[in-house]
Amino acid sequence: MRMVDLIEKKKAGLEHSEKEIHFIINGYVEDKIPDYQMSAWMMAICFQGLTQKETTILTKEMTYSGEILDLSSIQGIKVDKHSTGGVGDKTSLVLGPLVGACGVPVAKMSGRGLGHTGGTLDKLESIPGLKIEIKKEDFIKQVNDCCFSIIGQNKHLVPADKKMYALRDVTGTVACIPLIASSIMSKKIAAGCDALLLDVKYGNGAFMKTKEEAKKLAQMMIQIGKSLGKDTKATLSNMTQPLGYAIGNSLEVKEAIETLLGNGPDDLLQLCLQSGAQMLIQAKKAKSIKEATQMLKNVIDNHKAFDVLCQMVEAQGGNVEYICHPELFKKAKEIIPIHSLEKGYVKDLKAKPLGLVSMKLGGGRASIEDTIDYSVGLVLNKKIGDYVEKDEILLYVHTNNGLSEELRAEILNAYIIQDEYIEKPILIDEVL
């Protein structure tokens, strides 16, 4: 077999066999196929696509390019959740304790933030002392003890995705549904869960700009999961505006704590209850959404979910005082209010520019080597559907370096205000 013939084949829109995909992935991981040929092949996929069968085979080949985590010594059905990322998305910090408190083991690997989206690991590391690299035996013991742990990606999982993703990043081949589906699913399957809930987001703050694209991606991933023996479900959720009110690492941890104590923003709580209920059903802890939702509300009311977060933080070396007394988190030097220039209803609140402002304040990374300032970010005061008077506060900027006119303009441009009344958007509008 020659790689050049396989590139030509995909360029012509023909379907690859299992042997051919094995040859490509194996050859690439073993450095027998060079980056330039791999990029040409992935670019051909961007234009010609892959069939469902090809995508499933590609996912399987990528999954088995490295180690597969064996979580069989964790008791119970392990349900993992994956969000395709967004702005202000702190759901893992709420959902993990919620579901864990209902007796479902959550053994999760998460990533870091890049660009306008935040990463769960960075948020967790804003808790002083908390370690995200722990030994596999300790990880398993912790999940058996308190039903919840989040750690960093194991370096030995899915080496094919590491190489391919780095190449896609610099060759304009990231935004391609079969490549995204195989990249996400290979990592999730290698991470050893029994069942998987995907939260596929759409809107200007997400990878998928439209609901139709998000649905296509979700359906493709569900089929891959089913073909590879994992019970897989997906929700489609709206990411036109940030989730909750806080954007930025420690600000988001504080909001997650508030939510676990029953005082969080309604959109975040609803998303966590709906996703959590799906997970409890997948883990066979509840038979209906109604029953599952009640279980989740109970563990908020009796503080069991909050206790699970405290146990997890303590087990991973974090200072649990910060969870019990969030006012201990280091504050930014200045909190600058941004006032509205006009009155009316907030029609649009663009998540992506706000995510980028938080990154530029130091709360995120423009490149993977950048360090993070955990205390900075934004706290929204007005969201879509809210009425705002002229000069009323739209949001607060938490900063250690003042606020440039450029960033102030970016914030004001993210808010679109109109005279006519507008309903608040629906968050989850479909479960697949």
Q: Which residues in this chain contact ligand URA in the complex, by CB under 6 A?
A: 174, 179-180, 183-184, 207
The distance of closest approach from Cβ of residue 183 to ligand URA in the complex, given in angstroms and rounded to an integer, is 3
Distance between CA atoms of 80 and 100, rounded to whole angstroms? Answer: 11
Distance between CA atoms of 164 and 169, rounded to whole angstroms? Answer: 9
The distance of closest approach from Cβ of residue 42 to ligand URA in the complex, given in angstroms and rounded to an integer, is 11
* Residue closest to ligand URA when measured from CB atoms: 183
- Structure-token match 């998928």, residue found: 208
CA 215 and chain centroid, separation: 17
Given the complex with ligand URA, which of 24 and 184 has the nearer CB atom? 184
Distance between CA atoms of 360 and 431, rounded to whole angstroms? Answer: 35
For 143, half-sphere exposure in the C-beta direction (CA atoms, 13 angstrom radius) is 28
Given the complex with ligand URA, which of 25 and 180 has the nearer CB atom? 180
Q: Are strands 231-238 and 195-202 parallel, antiparallel or unpaired?
A: parallel
The distance of closest approach from Cβ of residue 271 to ligand URA in the complex, given in angstroms and rounded to an integer, is 19
Given the complex with ligand URA, which of 147 and 221 has the nearer CB atom? 221
The distance of closest approach from Cβ of residue 192 to ligand URA in the complex, given in angstroms and rounded to an integer, is 17
155 Cβ contact partners less than 8 Å away, ≥ 6 residues apart: none
Residue type, 354: L
Catalytic residues: 82, 161, 168, 183, 187
Given the complex with ligand URA, which of 29 and 332 has the nearer CB atom? 29
Judge whether 124 and 94 are in contact, CB under 8 Å: no
Given the complex with ligand URA, which of 29 and 180 has the nearer CB atom? 180
- Nearest in space to 318 (alpha carbons), one of 196, 147, 142, 168: 142
The distance of closest approach from Cβ of residue 176 to ligand URA in the complex, given in angstroms and rounded to an integer, is 8
31 Cβ contact partners less than 8 Å away, ≥ 6 residues apart: none
